[in-house]
Amino acid sequence: MYRYYKKEQEEKNLPFAKRCTYETIFNTEFNISFYQPKKDQCSICEEYKNSNPDEKAKLQESYDRHIANKIKSREEKAKDTAMAKDKLNLIVACFDLQAVLPTPCGDVSAFYYKCRLNSIASRGSNEIATCLYSYISSLPPNTDIIFCSDNCVGQNKNKIVVSMYLYAMCNTEVNSIVHKFLTVGHTQNEGDSMHSVIERQKKRALKSEPIFVPSQWPPLMKTAIKEGRP
């Protein structure tokens, strides 16, 4: 929010406050705050938060290191995103897996037992590597790529994905591939917002009728976003 405020002030040729001043005013003079997610809380932060003073003293060093890594990873991601806006050949891509969208899908529990192909598809390292390679292959020549994701070993952080990157460098025309992992417990990214919007649209759609076939999911996803390109 401070970056947006600073950018707006600069565009209007107006002076802007320092970040510390902005944070003090925001936190003390307004009856608003950032939403705290109820799920996916960081286990390290929660352990520190719920500890007594003696336990906090023992955890202080590792907790401070954890927070420093969180701040650094977010700053790194913001820096890469800003750099991608200026460099036409740089792509910064965040990805994460959404909750499974089964077919058929409805409010009746019996629908779950009608999922004929549910046990065939997988969501492991091979599937992630295949999706990433398909995306890399679609990019124009001389592209630099920076991927951001969580630290899931079974999906993203493993030798299968690394081997695929090596194969992609040898068999596509991209310049470079960099994969950066967000700090454990603080891996929220733009993909989470996208998934949340799709889930809300799914709940609205299910109020009118169930979803019977996979071809109904893409139109639902496209109507979930109100602005920009799906």
Cis check: omega of the bond before 53, within 30 degrees of 0: no
Tens digit of each residue's pLDDT (9 = 90 or more) over 181-194: 988 878 777 777 78
On the question of pLDDT at 36 being above 70, the answer is no
Residue 67 lies in a domain: yes
| 18 & 94 share domain | no
CA distance 106 to 120: 21
Q: Is residue 23 a part of any domain in this protein?
A: yes
For residue 17, give its domain range: 1-34
| 230 is a domain residue | no
100 and 27 in a common domain: no
Mode of pairing for the β-strands spanning 90-94 and 144-149? parallel
**Residue-wise pLDDT tens digits, 54-80:** 888 888 998 899 889 888 888 888 899
Strand order in the sheet with 176-181: 90-94, 144-149, 176-181
Cα–Cα–Cα angle for 107, 101, 91, nearest 5°? 145
pLDDT at 34 over 80: no
* 185 DSSP assignment: T
Domain match, 77 and 169 both: yes
**Residue 179 one-letter amino acid:** H
Dihedral (Cα; 189, 195, 196, 199), 10-degree rounding: -170
The reported pLDDT for the residue numbered 39 is 55
Question: Hey, which residues does 149 pair with through a beta bridge?
Answer: 181
- Mean of pLDDT values over 91-98: 90
User: Interhelix angle for 125-138 vs 159-171, to 10°?
Assistant: 20
Confirm whether pTM is higher than 0.95. no
pLDDT in tens, 77-92: 889 999 999 999 999 9
Confidence of residue 159 (pLDDT cuts 50, 70, 90): very high
What's the pLDDT at 113?
75
